[in-house]
Amino acid sequence: MKKSIFYHAGCSVCVSAEQDIIALIGADKVEVVNLAEHRNQIEEAEKAGIKSVPALVTTNGNVLHINFGASLADVKG
Amino acid sequence: MKKSIFYHAGCSVCVSAEQDIIALIGADKVEVVNLAEHRNQIEEAEKAGIKSVPALVTTNGNVLHINFGASLADVKG
């Protein structure tokens, strides 16, 4: 089964949103990527259309930016 | 079963997010409120902590602001 991907950067806003998203969608339906720990996936996140984290990329490729933790520029910097 | 509540205001960003949220969570688990049509619920949305729409209030009361369609001030104005 294709999963949604939740990108975050370890910030408090991200962690809170992650818990909510997992509770809503189910842990088995979402892959969680911490871009602060996996910096090699930042480019993949940008290509998916992500401008800030936390964000959820749905299985059909739509990006839902959730609340506002950090811009990708800040994650890269 | 307690449902999450998805507040929106009919804007294109809102409608797109609504479709994604329903696909993710399931239509039976989310109540959808269009604040542009149900202006009497704007105060309830504000009390829930909503600053902009589209936004999802989870069953435990957390608010997830999704993307950015319109501020509540704009919906009221």
**pLDDT confidence of residue B5:** 97
Is the model more confident about A56 or about A76? A56
What distance in Å separates the CA atoms of residue B35 and residue A39, rounded to the nearest whole number? 40
For A24, the closest of B16, B24, B65 (CB atoms) is B24
What distance in Å separates the CA atoms of residue A70 and residue B29, rounded to the nearest whole number? 29
pLDDT at A1 over 80: no
| 3.40.30.10, 3.30.70.1380, 3.60.110.10, 3.40.47.10: CATH of B4-76 | 3.40.30.10
Q: Are B55 and B5 in contact (CB under 8 A)?
A: no
Mean pLDDT of chain B: 93
Asked if A23 lies within 8 A of B58 by C-beta distance, the reply is yes
Asked if B62 lies within 8 A of A25 by C-beta distance, the reply is no
B63-71: strand order across its sheet: A30-34, A4-8, A52-57, A63-71, B63-71, B52-57, B4-8, B30-34
Asked if A65 lies within 8 A of B60 by C-beta distance, the reply is no
Map out the domains of chain B as residue ranges.
4-76
Tens digits of residue pLDDT in B13-69: 889 999 999 999 999 999 999 999 999 999 999 999 999 999 999 999 999 999 888
Strand partners, A32: A6
